[in-house]
Amino acid sequence: EADTESVSLMLIDIDKFKQINDTYGHSAGDAVLVQLGQLLKEMLRPSDLVARYGGDEFIIDLHCDKETALKRSQEILLSIREHTFIWKDEKIHTTASIGLFYCNVGTEMDYEHIFQKVDMAMYEAKKRGRNNVVDIAA
């Protein structure tokens, strides 16, 4: 059930996605994106919104508090790490870097600023060695 008082935005970036494309080909990379989209959809509630954002990133709009968002992002991180992506006869494993940003509904902030913040968090996750979650609040 959606908690209407706060919004959490999650940005998921597949770690070393270029390496997947270079090793297995772009069709394999596309297959990983499709399978990750399905995995995320299975893990999310009907009230959550998920969309592909950029080349190998997914953005998720969760209407929940900070604690719930952090817990859910850790669950997603773990499920991506443990998932076997299949392309033809290849089994592909990958990890993700996740940025998480939350604010209260009604916070004076435009979408551009919110996207900037969640993007900063995701890049910080990459900087810290990938395969982790970094969260920031408004």
C-beta separation of 97 from 15 below 8 A = yes
Residue among 13, 56, 119, 135 flagged as catalytic: 56
Active site residue 56: yes
Question: How far is it, in rounded angstroms, from Cα 120 to Cα 114?
Answer: 10
If DSSP states are collapsed to H, E and C, what string results for 90-104?
Answer: EEECCCEEEEEEEEE
Cα–Cα distance measured from residue 67 to residue 128, given in angstroms and rounded to the nearest whole number: 21
Question: What is the Cα–Cα distance from 124 to 127, expressed in whole angstroms?
Answer: 5
Residue 45 buriedness (CB in 10 A; 0-12 / 13-18 / 19+): exposed
**What is the number of other CB atoms lying within 10 angstroms of the CB of residue 106?**
9
Report the catalytic residues.
Answer: 56
